[in-house]
């Protein structure tokens, strides 16, 4: 016992004389906790961004702190859809566009496509044409709307209005483009990409793609290292040799640099509904249990504040033949869509989460939300892919002659990939062998529409492949084909399926959320859910982007920190 006391005394004295050395083992900022080796040393070895603080909000996005909420409607359902039964869900923190994607934002996308892939060139014309919004959605057999047909998308008077006439597929392609442009801009600012390259060096054979830059950076910009290595702006730091003539390893920041943002994407239905409710600003039990009716607090669509008493809180259809109210004080300020930020944001800082336009979300539509299988980051629509690999083991980057076009059910062509992207292929049985979390590439039908979920399914017996015995007697989309870039039309003959159909539900039908300028107040409830074919567009559905949060749940790290 005396010996132990003596040893403790010696340790205390040593630590008192050299506190730094005693605490050194707890400071692993630039030292490996696994090996003790130095990190980021001048001599080389493992390089990692140890000064990373937290994810910054990318352009246009605001932070949405995740949590639990009641997804679905707990109030009466007079429409008797029974497709939004309440379930308790948890959503991880993420970022979301504070407004819908506007006409000006989408026109920037079209301008880039037109500049990089000139539509007058036969090989690229369908890239640009496939991205154009359908402006004819404004037409009505018994209405005069030609002003919107010709002006709504491009006239500066509508610059800050939400873009419409965009299909779900087009919204997804815009999101991919936005991811690449934002990461390209950030790397350019940091000196890793030549300054102004997005204008001076961008062409069909020289484009920046985020995944290509991460996985095979030497092939970014078509393999032009003078562009991808920063050019003259960072010549000293990124030169191939140092002053002594010794070779210097080229620097291509990957994910470990912390500079590259996660992808812009469509929000999942669970994320969108959670963000629209804006529960963060309310501490009320009934609200927490799903009894909040609108993105704002209260049960009415008019403002109850003394200074703004009676003002409408959203842009929606007031009644038959009434899209905005009587001109003047009672008007909601819009007869069609309204300029973004025309109404107050919810408690997350998100505008127009009710009214203005409905919005595409990522999910494939089903009448149920299968919370029995998953209640964390719920999403139906996963199609898992992997990078295509060349015979020499390198990833396959799409070339200018390798663009594949998907032919939609209406005969339109949409580019499935663009030059500079990494080609994708479905995961195989070899990839899923012995896995328990997923078994195949396409998971859209999981537990609802696949063989095992058919009412005719019996374990350990053959499943009847008769299409009339599917869970949903829906279109099979057999006319979905692939066409080369020179095809004038994707399908040579158009027709209609004469078979009797009892449902429009299929794997190509997506959820859209929120009320629009064409909808009555009933649809302003964030819990309401509807569906529409993913390759069709309307004058009342727009979209906004989301981005996953990496790292801590909260912006306030002290709130969740548990250790140094």
Q: Nearest CA to 442 among 365, 363, 384?
A: 384
Give pLDDT tens digits for 436-454: 999 899 999 898 866 666 5
Write phi, then psi, for 255 (nearest 5 degrees). -65, -30
Cβ proximity of 315 and 540 under 8 Å: no
Distances (CA, A) of 562 to 552, 557, 558: 11, 9, 8
Q: Nearest CA to 352 among 547, 58, 156, 98?
A: 98
390, part of any domain: no
309, part of any domain: no
Cβ proximity of 532 and 510 under 8 Å: yes
* Domain coverage including residue 498: 451-506
77, part of any domain: no
Euclidean distance between CA atoms 546 and 268, whole angstroms: 9
430: CB partners within 8 A, 6+ apart:
none
Give the pLDDT band of residue 82 (cuts 50, 70, 90). confident
124, part of any domain: no
Euclidean distance between CA atoms 217 and 254, whole angstroms: 9
Give pTM, 2 decimals. 0.86
**Of the ranges 260-274, 440-454, 524-538, which one carries the lowest mean pLDDT score?**
440-454
Euclidean distance between CA atoms 359 and 519, whole angstroms: 13
479, part of any domain: yes
Domain tally, the chain: 1
463, part of any domain: yes
190, part of any domain: no
Euclidean distance between CA atoms 212 and 96, whole angstroms: 25
468, part of any domain: yes
DSSP state of 95: E
**Residue linked to tokens 């963000």:** 275
Q: Nearest CA to 173 among 516, 403, 515, 377?
A: 403
Q: Give the per-residue pLDDT at 544.
A: 98
Give pLDDT tens digits for 297-334: 778 787 767 677 667 889 999 899 999 888 876 678 89
Euclidean distance between CA atoms 360 and 536, whole angstroms: 11
- The pair of three-digit structure tokens given for residue 557, joined into one six-digit string: 């790290």
């Amino acid at each position: 016992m005396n010996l132990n006391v003596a040893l403790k005394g010696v340790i205390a004295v040593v630590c008192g004389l050299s506190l730094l050395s005693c605490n050194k083992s707890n400071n692993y900022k630039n030292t490996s906790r696994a090996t003790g080796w130095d990190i980021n040393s001048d001599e080389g070895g493992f390089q990692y961004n140890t000064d990373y603080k937290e994810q910054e909000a990318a352009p246009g996005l605001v932070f949405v702190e995740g949590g639990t909420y009641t997804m679905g409607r707990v109030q009466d359902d007079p429409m008797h859809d029974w497709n939004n039964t309440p379930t308790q869900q948890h959503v991880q923190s993420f970022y979301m566009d504070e407004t819908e994607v506007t006409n000006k934002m989408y026109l920037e996308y079209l301008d880039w496509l037109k500049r990089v892939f000139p539509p007058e060139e036969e090989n690229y014309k369908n890239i640009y044409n496939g991205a154009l919004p359908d402006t004819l959605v404004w037409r009505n057999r018994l209405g005069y709307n030609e002003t919107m047909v010709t002006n709504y998308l491009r006239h500066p008077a509508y610059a800050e209005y939400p873009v419409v006439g965009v299909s779900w597929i087009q919204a997804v392609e815009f999101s991919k483009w936005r991811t690449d442009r934002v990461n390209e801009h950030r790397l350019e600012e940091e000196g890793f990409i030549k300054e102004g390259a997005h204008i001076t060096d961008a062409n069909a054979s020289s484009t920046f793609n985020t995944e290509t830059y991460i996985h095979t950076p030497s092939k970014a910009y078509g393999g032009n290292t003078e562009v991808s290595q920063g050019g003259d702006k960072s010549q000293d730091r990124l030169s191939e040799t140092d002053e002594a003539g010794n070779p210097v390893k080229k620097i291509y920041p990957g994910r470990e640099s912390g500079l590259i943002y996660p992808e812009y994407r469509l929000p999942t239905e669970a994320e969108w509904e959670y963000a629209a409710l804006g529960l963060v600003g309310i501490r009320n039990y009934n609200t927490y249990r799903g009894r909040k009716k609108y993105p704002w607090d209260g049960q009415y669509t008019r403002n109850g504040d003394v200074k703004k008493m009676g003002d409408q809180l959203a842009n929606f259809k007031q009644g038959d033949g009434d899209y905005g109210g009587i001109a003047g004080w009672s008007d909601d300020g819009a007869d069609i869509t309204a300029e973004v930020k025309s109404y107050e944001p919810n408690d997350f800082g998100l505008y127009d989460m009710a009214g203005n336009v409905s919005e595409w979300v990522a999910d494939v539509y089903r009448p149920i939300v299968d919370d029995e299988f998953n209640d964390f980051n719920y999403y139906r629509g996963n199609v898992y892919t992997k990078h295509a690999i060349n015979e020499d083991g390198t990833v396959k980057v799409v070339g200018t002659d390798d663009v594949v076009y998907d032919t939609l059910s209406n005969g339109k062509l949409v580019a499935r990939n663009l030059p500079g992207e990494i080609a994708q292929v479905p995961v195989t049985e070899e990839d899923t062998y012995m896995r328990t979390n997923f078994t195949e590439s396409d998971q859209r039908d999981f537990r609802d529409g696949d063989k095992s979920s058919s009412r005719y399914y019996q374990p350990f017996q053959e499943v009847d492949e008769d299409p009339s015995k599917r869970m949903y007697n829906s279109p099979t989309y057999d006319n979905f084909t692939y066409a080369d870039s020179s095809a004038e039309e994707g399908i040579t003959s158009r027709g209609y399926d004469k078979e009797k159909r009892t449902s429009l539900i299929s794997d190509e039908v997506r959820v859209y959320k929120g009320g629009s300028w064409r909808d009555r107040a009933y649809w302003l409830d964030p819990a309401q859910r509807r569906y529409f074919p993913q390759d069709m567009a309307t004058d009342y559905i727009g979209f906004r982007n989301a981005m996953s949060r990496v790292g801590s749940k909260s912006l306030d790290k002290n709130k969740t920190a548990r250790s140094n």
